[in-house]
Chain A
Amino acid sequence: MSALPAPLEEVVEDFAAVAPRDRLQLLLEMGQELPALPERFASRAGMEQVQECQSPLFLAVEVEQAGPVHLWFDAPAEAPTTRGFAGILRTGLEGASAEQVLAVPDDFYVRLGLAELVSPLRLRGMAAMLARVKGQVRAAS
C-alpha cells in the first residue's frame, strides 16, 4: 500500500486517535482552517465544481513546474461537513509532489473512522474531491 504524504498521514492518525464524537469536532476544525481563496479565483474562474458533493464545492489545483502542488477549495459556510473534507485534503496534500498526490489511495478516507458518523453519500463527496484533484494534477503534469 502506498504511503500517504506525511501531513495527510498525520491527519488520519489524529482522527483515528480520538473517540467518534470528537472526530466531528475535528472535522469542524479542519473546515474552519480552510484558507480564504486568493483574489485570482474571485468569481471562481478556473475552478472545477465537484458535482458529487451534496453542497456546492469548487476546487482548483496549481502544479508548479516539477514542484509542489497547491490546492484551493471554495465551499459555503452552510456546508461545514463538505468544508471539513476539503480541509482534510488541503492540510494533508498542500505542498506535496504530483507523484505523492497521485499515489494517495482512493479509499484513504476509510481510515478516518467517519463511516459511523457520516452517511456513505457524504463520504463519497470526499472520494470525489480526491478524484478530481488527481485529475487536475494529471492534466497539469
Chain B
Amino acid sequence: MALPVDAQAESAGYAHPERLVSTAWLAEHLGQPGLVVVESDEDVLLYDTGHVPGSVKVDWHTELNDPVTRDYVDGERFAALMRAKGISRDSTVVIYGDRNNWWAAYALWVFTLFGHPDVRLLDGGRAKWAAEGRELTTAVPEPVAADYPVVERDDSRVRAFKDDVLAHLGSPLIDVRSPGEYTGELLHMPDYPQEGAVRGGHVPGARNVPWATAAAEDATFRPLEELRALYEGGAGLSPEDDVVVYCRIGERSSHTWFVLTHLLGYDRVRNYDGSWTEWGNSVRVPIETGSGQ
C-alpha cells in the first residue's frame, strides 16, 4: 500500500527516486491513507510553532537514542515509538525537517537500521514548504495506534563502528564537517564549543566534503550532475566504492549517507555515528591534521 513514486524525483535521474518527494507531491498526497508525515528537527521546539498538517514529531534526542547505552533504541522501543506515532510497517513515511533536512536525514537513517520499507525525505524540507507559503498548523494530531512488529535493528549494512573504521583505513572516507574542524584548527579557537574531543583533525585519508554543499540555496538536493562532480570529480569516489562517512556525532553525515546511497546509488555506504567525538578521544587511534588533500 505504498504511495506512488514522485514523478518529479524520477525525472531528476536520482538512483532511488522512491526515497525523495517534492513539496508538490506531499501537498497532493497529504491526508491519504497509508501516508504518515514525520517532522524531525534540530530545534526541538520548531514543530510546536507550526508543522505540516497531520504530521507527527520525532525527536532524535529523546526518542531515537537509548540514554544509557549510547546507542539507538532497540527493536521493542522502536516498535513502541512507531505504534505511538501511528506508523505501521507498510506505511509510507515522509520525513522533513529544518536546516537542509539535516536531522530528517538522521531520522531516516535510523529508520533504515530497522529496515522500514518505505521511508522518504521531503526535498527541501521544512524551509521549502514554508517558503512556498504552504499550510502550517499548530494542531497536534492524535494518531490512531498502529500495529508495528518488533524488528531487530541491523547495524551491519549502513552503520560503522570504530573498529570497522580502523579496518577501513586506506579505503574511501568522507569527513563532512566544516574545513576548520577537518584540519584540526577549530579546536584551538577560543570561546567555541570544543565538542568534547581532545584532539582536532580527521581520520587518516579522509576527504573533506562539508555536508551542506550537497544542498542548494532552497535546501533541496543539488542536481545529479552537480552531486557527481562534488563526490566523484572532487572527492574521487566511484559508485562501486566501499565508503564510510562521519562528522561529529553522525548527524550531519547521515545527510551525506543519504546523498551517496539514494541519490547517487552507491551500494556500500556506512555512517560512522561515533564520529569525531569518539575517534578524536580514542586511545591508540591515529589522526591526521591539516588540509590533507
- Whether B62 is near chain A, meaning CB under 8 Å from some CB there, is yes
Give the one of B43, B62, B127, B191 with max A CB within 10 A: B43
Q: A127 — nearest CB in chain B belongs to which residue? A: B193
Closest to A116 in B: B62
Name B248's closest neighbour in chain A (CB-CB): A121
The segment from A7-15, A77-85, A92-100, A105-113 found at the interface with B is A77-85
Question: Please, which residues of chain B bring their CB within 8 A of the CB of A55?
Answer: 43
Could you name 8 residue pairs across A and B whose Cβ atoms are closer than 8 Å? A28-B45, A54-B43, A78-B46, A82-B43, A117-B44, A117-B61, A128-B191, A131-B191
Q: Which residue of A lies closest to B127 (CB)?
A: A78
Residues of A with Cβ closer than 8 Å to B?
A: 24-25, 27-28, 31, 51-52, 54-55, 77-82, 84, 116-119, 121-122, 124, 128, 131
Interface string of B130-163 (1 = CB under 8 A from A): 0000000000000000000000000000000000
A54: B residues at CB distance < 8 A: 42-43
Chain A residue with Cβ nearest B126: A78
Residue of B nearest to A82 (CB): B43
CB <8 Å contact, B193 and A119: no
CB-contact partner of A84 in B42, B45, B191, B192, under 8 A = B45
CA distance A128 to B46 in the complex (A): 21
Q: Is the Cβ of A24 less than 8 Å from the Cβ of B193?
A: no
Contact yes or no, A77 B49, CB < 8 A: yes
Q: B193 touching A121 by the CB < 8 A rule?
A: yes
| Per-residue interface assignment for chain B, residues 39 to 69, with 1 indicating a CB less than 8 Å from any chain A CB and 0 otherwise | 0001111101100000000000110000100
Q: Give 7 nearest A-B pairs by CB, closest first.
A: A80-B45, A119-B61, A81-B45, A81-B43, A28-B45, A52-B193, A80-B49
Provide the bound-state CA to CA distance between A31 and B45, in Å: 10
* Residues of chain B contacted by A121 (CB below 8 angstroms): 193, 195
CB–CB B191/A51 < 8 A: yes
Say if the beta carbon of B98 comes within 8 Å of chain A.
Answer: yes
- Beyond the given A31-B45, A81-B45, please list 8 additional residue pairs across the A-B interface where CB-CB is below 8 A: A25-B48, A27-B45, A28-B48, A52-B192, A80-B45, A81-B44, A116-B62, A128-B191
Residues in chain A near residue B127, CB distance under 8 A: 78
- Digit string of B20-54 for contact with A (CB within 8 Å is 1, else 0)? 00000000000000000000001111101100000
Contact flags B62-101 to A (C-beta < 8 A → 1, else 0): 1000010000000000000000000000000000001000
Q: In whole angstroms, how far apart are the Cα atoms of A79 and B11 in the complex? A: 34
Contacts of B192 in A (CB 8 A): 51-52
Residues of B within 8 A of A124 (CB): 193
A97 to B44, CA, bound (A): 32
As a 0/1 sequence over residues 191 to 221 of chain B, the CB contacts with chain A under 8 angstroms (1 = contact) are 1110100000000000000000000000000
Residues of A within 8 A of B62 (CB): 116-117
**Measured between C-beta atoms, what is the minimum distance from A31 to chain B in Å?**
7
Among B48, B61, B67, B193, the one with the most A-chain Cβ atoms within 10 Å of its Cβ is B193
Residue of B whose beta carbon sits closest to that of A84: B45
Q: What is the CA–CA distance of A109 and B44 in the complex, to the nearest angstrom?
A: 17
* A59 CB to nearest B CB, Å: 14
Chain A residues within an 8 Å CB radius of B191: 51-52, 128, 131
